[in-house]
Amino acid sequence: MEAIEVTDLHKTYGNTRAVDGVTFTVRAGETFGLVGHNGAGKTTTVECLIGLKRPDTGTVRVLGEDPARRRQALAQRIGAQLQESSLPERIKVAEALRMFGTFYRKGADWRQVMERWSLGPLARKAFGDLSGGQKQRLMLALALVGDPEVVVLDELTTGLDPIARRETWRLVGDLKAVGTTVVLVSHYFDETEALCDRVAVFARGRVVAMGTPDDIIARTGTASLEEAYFALEGADR
């Protein structure tokens, strides 16, 4: 079953063609990566997936629904950790998790989510007093507290130290193990290569390659997804 279907998506801001005819599908349970340079259209695409932006043209279906029309209903089934998400400075970690848990009719147990993400020792700490990595970990836990079928993670490990980054990779692997569909937006090719079943490579608002990381590497005759990206990016100019 397809969890996500994006067909010929276009989105323009003024004179900027942010997304220029993007098509891809994500199967249920798949970890799917969106990689590409700054401004390639990845975030605009995921914002259309969660109903924050409305496409100019093209269709988007998530779990069979149109996110632009059914945002509230889908919000119960999708978790999102977006770039630059924030919380009030004074809210405490446990309080935020408990509060987010109330948004969902059938969520996970927020205490379990807190423990799973090693946030227990920080339960009484205010958001404003957390380190960058701790804030990121909390935002991720908040994306999962509704026990979502689809999770969108935009720049998941930006700002995390190498240890926290590897730990986060392990947790994304756990999400996969329980059948969650994951959409991962990343600048890090090693991360995408390690975590994603399939990848869409974005350049200037378009998908210039799609497939398993191994396929893309083989097709470009390169040794890594990063090298493949530069080969594709150069070829697309």
Asked whether 183 and 150 are in contact (CB, 8 A), the reply is yes
Residues listed for the chain: 237
Closer CB to ligand ATP, residue 48 or residue 62? Answer: 48
Is residue 13 close enough to count as binding ligand ATP by CB under 6 A? yes
With CB atoms as reference, the residue minimizing the distance to ligand ATP is 43
In angstroms, the CA 151 to CA 173 distance is 13
Using the rule CB under 6 A, give the single segment among 37-45, 56-64, 167-175, 216-224 that binds ligand ATP.
Answer: 37-45
- When asked if residue 159 is in the footprint of ligand ATP (CB under 6 A), the reply is no
User: Is the separation of the CB atoms in 211 and 198 below 8 Å?
Assistant: yes
192 binds ligand ATP (CB under 6 A): no
Subset of residues 15 to 34 that bind ligand ATP, contact rule: CB under 6 A? 16, 18
Beta strand spans in 98-236 (E): 150-154, 181-186, 198-203, 206-211
Which positions from 44 to 83 touch ligand ATP by CB under 6 A, shown as an x/- string?
x---------------------------------------
Spatial CB neighbours of 22, under 8 Å, sequence gap ≥ 6: 6, 8, 9, 41, 45, 58, 200, 202, 205, 206, 207
> What does the binding site for ligand ATP look like in residue numbers (CB under 6 A)?
13, 16, 18, 36, 38-44
